[in-house]
Structure 1
Amino acid sequence: MADPKPSQPLTKQCTSSRCRRASRTDTLRSRRAAPGALLCGSCRRALAADLAALPALHHDSEQQLVLPARQRSLVRATGHRPVAPPVDDTALEARHDAVVRLASWARLVLDEADSAEAPPERTVPGLAAFLGRHADFLAAHPAAGPAADEIGRVAAALRRVVAPPRPELVPLGRCVEPDCDAEVSLPARGGDLVLRGPMCTAGHVLTPRQWLLVKRRQQIEQAGEPA
């Protein structure tokens, strides 16, 4: 009987949660890690793309720190002293978190990588550029999955600050303003329009009385009666 052939070492699965989530939902097969790494090629490229995008995202998010004028009236000021413009806590937290998370991974690289490179500046551009140069080290490190996932979450948080997702709109009916037949809608799950009331696509913000007229007209139309 012939001796069995020696078994070949199995390629490890990608350790990023992007691949694990995809395999659990059957939207994508769990991918194998690239040779010499613990990330698949797709997650390795996503890591590099996130690091490359972070400086611009962090820069653009600075424009979102001060709340829009329409939201400032919701912030109560006390006394008569001039009050600084209120700051958007979500933007502030996302910007601070970006520095903290990137600095943590940069420290890991400095402590464990075989590199004589000087520590980067504690800024998002400096940290992201440093980590980008050491992306191959991160992709092969035992913590490759958590690193890719956390840096991806940092980039996603800043993207939401820079370009918040538009809420899904629920149509309510036709506008009741004179000579306007535009669609009236409200966000399905919150949003600025909830604070102002229903608004049509032509820009009319309806009063509570007008909203009742829209609902009444909609009920009539659904019942098959003439409007």
Structure 2
Amino acid sequence: MPEPTPSQSLPEQCASSRCRRAARSDALRRRRAAPGALLCASCKRALAADLAALPALHHESEQQLVLPARQQGPARATGHRPDAPPMSDAAIEARHDALVRLASWARLVLDETHPAEVPTDRSVPALARFLGQHADFLAAHPAAGPAADEIGRVATALRALVAPPRPELVTLGRCVEPGCDAEVSLPGRGGDDLVLRGPMCGAGHVLTPRQWLLMNRRHRTEQAKEPA
């Protein structure tokens, strides 16, 4: 097969650290950049998806600024006006980081493209929408890798803030796998985890419906043997 000429050179590898990490771990072969870009098609879609999700994520994260009552400590009985509720450092930091990083990338786009339409204000929703309109420019820019990585980290941090808490686990008994004595548990409120995987022990054994019935039968037998 003839070597490619300079005008027919192979496309560069994706500049996103997501592809680099996957290649280092052998989880995925590092992909080639999409035509006219420095990101692969998958990382380009991820960049656009993160920017599209940021306005809603930022709005939802506002509800996490004030710590829940159970994390505020005991209330103090004083004759003075009640103290302002304590704020979540994690929420403040994630929201501030989102604003700073999006503003930086928006400034790059403004300085290099001089678009007719500019962000309506210096807010995360406005900056994210503006950058979403120029996602192709970012994907083709020499700084495409850092742009995709930073915006991805911003979206991940906000998603972590607004994600629903993991359900508490209910212990069902001891595993019925031969030689295993780990506890079996399932989400206290049921939900998708139970539907998708069923009860699982601490050692990683997922019980089949038959094993679950066997465990319940054994548990009832042990209860019946206990002295009244």
- Judge same fold: TM > 0.5, yes or no: yes
Equivalent in the alignment of 2:56 = 56
- Unaligned 5+ residue runs, structure 2? 175-182, 190-218
8 Å CA contact 2:169, 2:188 repeated in 1: no
Cα distance in structure 2, aligned partners of 1:142 and 1:120: 26
Equivalent in the alignment of 1:98 = 98
Deviation at residue 6 of structure 1 after TM alignment: 3.5
Query: Does 2:113 correspond to 1:113?
Result: yes
8 Å CA contact 1:12, 1:32 repeated in 2: yes
8 Å CA contact 2:167, 2:188 repeated in 1: no
Structure 2 vs 1, CA of residues 35 and 114 (structure 1 numbering), >3 Å: closer, same or farther? farther
- Letter of the structure 2 residue corresponding to residue 101 of structure 1: R
Structure 2 vs 1, CA of residues 171 and 139 (structure 1 numbering), >3 Å: closer, same or farther? same
Structure 2 vs 1, CA of residues 77 and 112 (structure 1 numbering), >3 Å: closer, same or farther? farther
Deviation at residue 184 of structure 1 after TM alignment: 9.5
The DSSP-based 3-state class of the residue aligned with 2:13 is coil
The DSSP-based 3-state class of the residue aligned with 2:67 is coil
8 Å CA contact 1:110, 1:119 repeated in 2: no
Deviation at residue 15 of structure 1 after TM alignment: 0.2
Equivalent in the alignment of 2:148 = 148
Cα distance in structure 1, aligned partners of 2:54 and 2:158: 8
Cα distance in structure 1, aligned partners of 2:16 and 2:78: 48
- Letter of the structure 2 residue corresponding to residue 118 of structure 1: V
8 Å CA contact 1:75, 1:86 repeated in 2: no
Cα distance in structure 1, aligned partners of 2:4 and 2:128: 46
Query: Does 2:22 correspond to 1:22?
Result: yes
Cα distance in structure 2, aligned partners of 1:71 and 1:32: 47
What is the 5 A alignment of 1:196-211? 201=188
Aligned length: 184
8 Å CA contact 1:47, 1:151 repeated in 2: yes
- TM-score, length basis structure 2: 0.69
Deviation at residue 136 of structure 1 after TM alignment: 0.6
Equivalent in the alignment of 2:36 = 36
8 Å CA contact 1:77, 1:83 repeated in 2: no
Cα distance in structure 2, aligned partners of 1:87 and 1:24: 39
Q: Identity of aligned pairs, percent?
A: 74
- Letter of the structure 2 residue corresponding to residue 127 of structure 1: L
Cα distance in structure 2, aligned partners of 1:123 and 1:173: 51
- Please, which moves more after superposition, 13-22 or 114-123? 114-123
Structure 2 vs 1, CA of residues 6 and 84 (structure 1 numbering), >3 Å: closer, same or farther? closer
Over the residues paired in the alignment, what is the CA RMSD in angstroms?
3.4
Equivalent in the alignment of 2:46 = 46
- TM-score, length basis structure 1: 0.69
Cα distance in structure 1, aligned partners of 2:70 and 2:140: 48
